[in-house]
A and B are shown apart, each in its own frame.
Chain A
Amino acid sequence: MSHIERLLEQIQVELDLDRATEQEVMAEMRAHLEETVAEAIAAGLSQDDAFAQAAARFGPGQEIGQALQATHVGWGTAEAVVAAGLPVLLALGLRWLLFAPDGTAIGWEQVLARPAFWVVALSALLIPLFKFHRWRYALASWGFFWLMTLLTTWWPALRW
């Protein structure tokens, strides 16, 4: 992996924005670095040296990523709320499909055979993942739901 790719990766790790914004930000960073490399090569540097010089001039990826995230994060507040709330709502939907209001399992083997269950289960993961690019929320709520489901199935005494 070149210095440039490593730097871009460091920046992207810090970003948690909507997909379009993140792609645009990364495209702009890449364009700048490619221009710097091209200029250095035209000035007589080897490709490796040009990559290294461009990365050094660009600055620390983590700091840049954090600054970009801080600049953009307020733009999609409503979207962020939906992205955080939707997996939770869908996880609650799954709970209602699997458990009675008192928390007892209502025949989970049968519920797993219902297409509606899997539609909701997959939506809980895939919608936030692809629509909002908020995979941390999606995976966290998904993981939490399944952990609780398994615990309650194995130990029915646990009610949630």
Chain B
Amino acid sequence: MSSIQQQMRKGTTTVVILKLLADEGVPMHGYQIIRQLEAQSGGYFSFKEGLVYPRLHQLEREGLLSSEWEGKPGTRRRKVYRMTQDGLCRLAEELDQWRRLSSTLNQMLGVEQEQAG
């Protein structure tokens, strides 16, 4: 994977996690989140899976996600994450910034003109 791809992926992991949880509308555990992101991105978001957890914990720490444990003691228990109100607000801000950034970059790089042509 090229350096620019790595940087793009790092910079966008937060917003894609928030978007996924907002779209799904149900609490999801880390394993589900990773599989969904891989599936939705056609493999572009192919993570070292363990490195997603520090990001999830950071988002929880910032109050953008909340978590709870699912499952009874003695069975397989999973920690699930759900969006908070602050998370929804942050997602809206991030999407807005992303639209402006991508629009500006597309203009600067002439990508839209090429596609239109």
Binding site for B on A (CB under 8 A): 11, 24-25, 27-29, 31-32, 34-36, 57-61, 63-64, 67-68, 70-72, 75
Distance between Cα atoms of A63 and B48 in the complex (Å)? 10
From residue A12, how far is it (CB to closest CB) to chain B in Å?
Answer: 13
Distance between Cα atoms of A61 and B76 in the complex (Å)? 22
Q: Are B30 and A32 interface neighbours, CB within 8 A? A: yes
Q: Are A32 and B57 interface neighbours, CB within 8 A? A: no
Q: Are B50 and A59 interface neighbours, CB within 8 A? A: yes
Interface SS, A side: helix
Distance between Cα atoms of A132 and B2 in the complex (Å)? 43
Q: Which 7 A-B pairs have the closest CB atoms?
A: A59-B48, A67-B54, A64-B50, A58-B50, A59-B50, A71-B54, A35-B31
Residues of B within 8 A of A57 (CB): 48-49
For chain B residues 6-36, which have a beta carbon within 8 Å of chain A?
Answer: 29-31
* Chain B CB within 10 Å, residue with most, of A24, A28, A70: A28
Q: Are B79 and A29 interface neighbours, CB within 8 A? A: no
From residue B115, how far is it (CB to closest CB) to chain A in Å?
Answer: 35
Distance between Cα atoms of A94 and B14 in the complex (Å)? 50
From residue A91, how far is it (CB to closest CB) to chain B in Å?
Answer: 34
B78 at the interface (CB under 8 A from A): yes
